[in-house]
Amino acid sequence: MRQAFRSHRTLVGVAGALTAAAIAVTALATLPRIAGSQRAILTSRAHVAKVPLIVYSAQGYDMNVVKAFQRATGIPTELVCDSTGPLLARISAQRNNPQWGLLWVDGNQPFAALDQQGLMLRGFEPSVPWNATADKLIPADKSFVPTGITIAATLIYNRKKVADPPTDFRQLLLPKYRGLLGMNNPSISGPTYPYVSGLMAYLGGVTQGERFLLQLKANGLHIFPTNGNTLHALQIGQIGMATIQSSAIIGAIEQNPAWGISFFKGVTLLPSNIGIDPKAPAAEVAEAKRFATYVLSPAGQHQMLIGDPHGDSNFWPVLRGESPRRGMPTLSSVPYQVTNPYLWGPREPAINSWFTTHMVQ
Amino acid sequence: MVIADRLSARLVGAVTRPGRLGALGGPALWALFFLILLVPIGLFLLVAVSPAIVGQGRAWLTFANFATALQGQTLQGLVDSLVVSATTAVISVAVALGLAWLVQRTTIPGRGLWTLLVWVVLLTPSFLVSLGWERLLEPDGILVHLGVPTTGIANVFFGPVGVVFVLTTKGVPFAYFAISAALGALGREFEDAARTHGAGRWAALRLVLPILAPAFWSALAIVFAETISDFGVATTIAATANFPIATQTLFNAVDNFPANFPVAAAVGWLLVGSVGLALVAQSRALRGRSYQVLSGRTRPSVRVRLGRRGRALALTAMGAFFGLSLGVPFAGALSASLVKPTASSITWNSLTLANYATVLHHPTLLGPLGLSAALACVAATVAVVVGVIVARTLTRRRAGPSARVLDLLLLATVGLPGIVLGAGYIFAYNLPWLNDIGIHLYGTLILLDMAYLANTVPSTTRLLVGPMAQVQFGLHDAARVHGSGGLRAWRTTVVPLLSRSLLWAWLFGFTGILFELPISQLLYPPGQETLAVAINAAFANYSYAPGTTLMVVSVGFAVIVVGVVLLLFRIGAPRGWQRVGSAR
């Protein structure tokens, strides 16, 4: 019995050794990268202290911009590239000990909410030539800065199925559009909430918005999880038109001439923004400010325009003297509205919950 | 059952030992589980009642999150998950028994191929299976292009029926490996003994099936737990059909802004509770009996010789299962990867290989595959070693209460979606005081691989429990009595009996980690995307064709790894190892 027990202990010992060995292998695999970062710090300390800048981004062009920024400044920049939801989940989970330096995603409501929780550096505004639209987007406490503009959701339609597309949200209730419209579920697709809340703001409030959405449902509205599912439904003819983010629409139209875009009256602006972690080391905060300034430079804007031509690169600039990609309509031709993120942001859980209960089920 | 027990006791001479802490693998094993499972999961679940502990709210003690979780869509999701998982588990075990019997106990042609295909089914991500079916049945899908109307079947499929169907195809391999190892290893002596004592074929079957009870229960429990934590189907067919499932509602609670970790943790508690019920059912069914039948003296079983008609029926059944579980998804995914992004319908002119060229020449897309493969290799190896020890501990006849706690912990982990581990690891290993004492684990590959290990050990253990329960340790003890060292005794007596199962468990761990998404999303270090993150990013940026192509390339890579490992086993392993559990 004792021998059996001893043999078991031997096995445990071997297991422990193997575990340690495996971890050591992983550590060795990681070491060159860690060492690389450390070297960057040591070699640069003689000049300016450089620490790795950690960028959390959901932008399709972020890799291009990060590489160009590193080349231009020599600042080691590490990218965590993912959808907005997981990035914000990471930030929320790290609340006690933030490990990010800069956040770059679409929508001003998350930034406003993070600002209210004390998780945004206030008082930073790059000295750049903002255009008139950007002036409406910069918050009073300067806790985040816009980098580009899209429309939260407007209409994409299949010309073969919808000959005369609607030009106003209310026209979507007409019987001739019955069963043709699709949209994303805001409780799954994060960027859809600005569209839903903007629609409510445009129609006069939450109550009016909910009533309108229920009428849409009665007119055969299809609800899909995310942009991808909605666009795919349009592609396979399950629906004839959909309301999704303008950058995705413009990218999709370039690849499919049968599709068209229509800007409704009262569509909501959805800016991409940069915010900085106030608890990051001073050196990283300084680098994050340089990153934001670089993004808003002609070189940074160029990288944004070429980095994701079928998606996020289809934005309107926030700077005077910069132009959107060729073929984009002028922003002045779009009848847009700007909503208050500090008013509509806190309502997100309640409105999403209502949507799930009354629209999806 | 009486005959079975008597035979087990007399013919085999089952060896049992009292449970003790030392027999649990010792403090080292518990320390490992404490660090990789208990602390992160415990902290995550604690957030449900004490959000303030990790800064996720102001309350230090509250039960309000359970009230929130038990209403509306989260409650509906939980009920749906329970029904779907229980249904899937029962159907999967029934199908797997049929498959295992055909492969292990009949002369059906191509037995090696069928086993390989079961593996391919296991390693195929459920997301890919769902995608394939969607491509087949959707309006303007492949069937419509072939002139087959799909409206009727699509209406039925895109809902609970389709969810259970796809999850069953994913559940069958788990059940198959639990059952086939037992079925293949069960020598013919029991049937011979029964037949000698006058039992007919049916009576012999009634004798043999109860001996396989550990495998059945193990299969039911693992399929139930794997299904209730599945993420791929929850985010595809279920989400598209607006059919809420608990993993999806838990993920939404974290993924939406503001992230609601306390409610997610409450859902986690309810999932743990559900899996706990499955475990109680399993342990009650097996309590107090020995099922140790596999030894070095085990005689190879005899195959049922199939006639021409029987062979045709068997091949049709096999073809139908693998056609539905593999053929359709791969056809769908392949078609998606070959279609031009601009195409609005599928024609010969719309096909292209450009997506493959993009993937193969784009280092940012192939780099993640290499990184994930390396991480999977390390974590799967450690998981199998740990899994063997734990499986041995759990299969002791009189395992103590600590073993039951360990079993509950492991199965609960299988039942929890990966995002729980991901968030739990941030809570546990990003504590400020850890940084203060110089430990910086968060944002490293080490922590990511630790989480992979934690996510893999429970499943590999469950895969090994069935075969381990049937190993007679009398052989091992005899070796020890005759002066063999501890390690040598294991290597020469136990490892040969388990070698095939160990191989399968490693491959399962490897492929599972290769395609892991939720943990990676929360833990991957800056600048080091894993495979699933890269695929997900491609889909998120509307690059569907490259995303699907990368997935197809990755599945192809995984199939090659499986093939190479099996080939190496065939070439390198001693013949005796390969003979154990085989049938004539």
Are B519 and B455 contacting, i.e. CB atoms less than 8 angstroms apart?
Answer: yes
Cα distance between residue B96 and residue B247, in whole Å: 25
Length in residues, chain B: 584
Backbone dihedral angles phi then psi of residue A323, each to the nearest 5 degrees: -120, 150
For chain A, the 3-state helix, strand and coil shares in percent, each to the nearest 5, are: 50, 15, 35
CB atoms B240 and A225 under 8 Å? yes
CB atoms B445 and A30 under 8 Å? yes
pLDDT bucket at B202, cuts 50 / 70 / 90: confident
pLDDT bucket at A218, cuts 50 / 70 / 90: very high
For range B511-534, the mean pLDDT: 88
For range A289-310, the mean pLDDT: 95
Which letter does DSSP use for residue B13 in this model? -
- Look up residue B58 and give its two tokens: 């102001």
* Residue with more model confidence, A156 or A231: A156
Length in residues, chain A: 361
pLDDT bucket at B316, cuts 50 / 70 / 90: very high
Which letter does DSSP use for residue A328 in this model? P
Per-residue pLDDT reduced to its tens digit, B410-447: 877 888 888 888 889 998 999 888 888 888 888 899 99
Which of the following CATH numbers is that of domain B2-579: 1.10.3720.10, 1.10.357.10, 3.40.50.300, 3.30.420.40? 1.10.3720.10
pLDDT bucket at B348, cuts 50 / 70 / 90: low
Q: Do domains A53-146+271-328 and A154-268+345-360 have the same CATH topology?
A: yes
Pairing of strands A102-106, A267-276: antiparallel
Cα distance between residue A59 and residue B63, in whole Å: 38
Q: Return all residues near A176 (Cβ < 8 A) that are at least 6 apart.
A: none
Are A336 and A151 contacting, i.e. CB atoms less than 8 angstroms apart?
Answer: yes
Long-range contacts of residues B345-349, Cβ cutoff 8 Å, at least 24 apart: B345/B140, B345/B145, B346/B142, B346/B145
* Residue with more model confidence, A141 or B156: A141
Residue among B389, B394, B434 nearest B35 (CA): B434
Residue B294 predicted with pLDDT over 60? no
- Give the CATH fold of the A154-268+345-360 domain: D-Maltodextrin-Binding Protein; domain 2 (3.40.190)
CB of B530 within 8 Å of a chain A CB? The answer is no
| Mean pLDDT over the full length of chain B | 79
For range A134-141, the mean pLDDT: 93
For range B479-500, the mean pLDDT: 74
Q: Which residues of A touch B481 (CB under 8 A)?
A: 3
Cα distance between residue B187 and residue B296, in whole Å: 11
Q: How many CA atoms does the CB half-sphere of B545 hold within 13 Å? A: 20
pLDDT bucket at B17, cuts 50 / 70 / 90: very low
Which homologous superfamily is A53-146+271-328 in?
Periplasmic binding protein-like II (3.40.190.10)
Count of beta carbons in the 10 Å neighbourhood of residue B33: 22
Are B213 and B284 contacting, i.e. CB atoms less than 8 angstroms apart?
Answer: no
Share of chain A above pLDDT 90, in %: 60
Are B270 and B377 contacting, i.e. CB atoms less than 8 angstroms apart?
Answer: no
Q: Return all residues near B430 (Cβ < 8 A) that are at least 6 apart.
A: A93, A94, A96, A97, A99, B442
pLDDT bucket at B96, cuts 50 / 70 / 90: very high
Which letter does DSSP use for residue A108 in this model? S
Q: Return all residues near A328 (Cβ < 8 A) that are at least 6 apart.
A: A250, A314, A316
Per-residue pLDDT reduced to its tens digit, A241-255: 999 999 989 988 887
Cα distance between residue B4 and residue A275, in whole Å: 69
Where does A221-345 have alpha helices with state H? 227-235, 246-255, 282-295, 298-307, 341-344
Residue among B90, B105, B290 nearest B201 (CA): B105
**pTM: predicted TM-score of the whole model, two decimal places:** 0.81
Cα distance between residue A337 and residue A210, in whole Å: 19
User: Letter for the amino acid at B265?
Assistant: A
Cα distance between residue B175 and residue B118, in whole Å: 11
Per-residue pLDDT reduced to its tens digit, B370-405: 899 999 999 999 999 999 888 888 777 666 777 777
What is the residue extent of each domain of chain A? 1-47, 53-146+271-328, 154-268+345-360
CB atoms A227 and B542 under 8 Å? yes
Lowest mean pLDDT among A282-296, B51-65, B404-418: B404-418
Interface size between A and B, measured as CB pairs under 8 A: 235
Supply the ipTM of this predicted assembly.
Answer: 0.78
What is the residue extent of each domain of chain B? 2-579
Cα distance between residue B216 and residue B282, in whole Å: 9
Per-residue pLDDT reduced to its tens digit, A151-205: 999 999 999 999 899 989 999 999 999 999 999 988 777 779 999 999 999 999 9
Q: Which residues of B touch A229 (CB under 8 A)?
A: 239-240
Pairing of strands A102-106, A53-57: parallel
Residue whose tokens read 């990010």? A100
To the nearest whole Å, the CA of A356 is away from the closest chain B CA by 7
Can you point out the beta strands (E) in chain A? 53-57, 77-81, 102-106, 145-151, 154-158, 181-184, 222-224, 241-244, 259-262, 267-276, 336-337
Per-residue pLDDT reduced to its tens digit, A71-88: 999 999 999 988 888 899
To the nearest whole Å, the CA of A171 is away from the closest chain B CA by 26
The CA-CA-CA angle for residues B143, B145, B148, to 5°, reads 45
User: Letter for the amino acid at B323?
Assistant: G
Q: Which residues of A touch B73 (CB under 8 A)?
A: 356-357, 360-361
The CA-CA-CA angle for residues A59, A63, A67, to 5°, reads 140
* Residue with more model confidence, B257 or B157: B157
pLDDT, residue B300, reads 59
pLDDT bucket at B359, cuts 50 / 70 / 90: low
pLDDT, residue B346, reads 56
Q: Which residues of A touch B485 (CB under 8 A)?
A: 7, 10
Per-residue pLDDT reduced to its tens digit, B134-145: 877 877 677 777
pLDDT, residue A32, reads 40
Question: A148 pairs with which residues across the strands?
Answer: A272
Cα distance between residue A277 and residue A119, in whole Å: 6
Cα distance between residue B187 and residue B582, in whole Å: 9
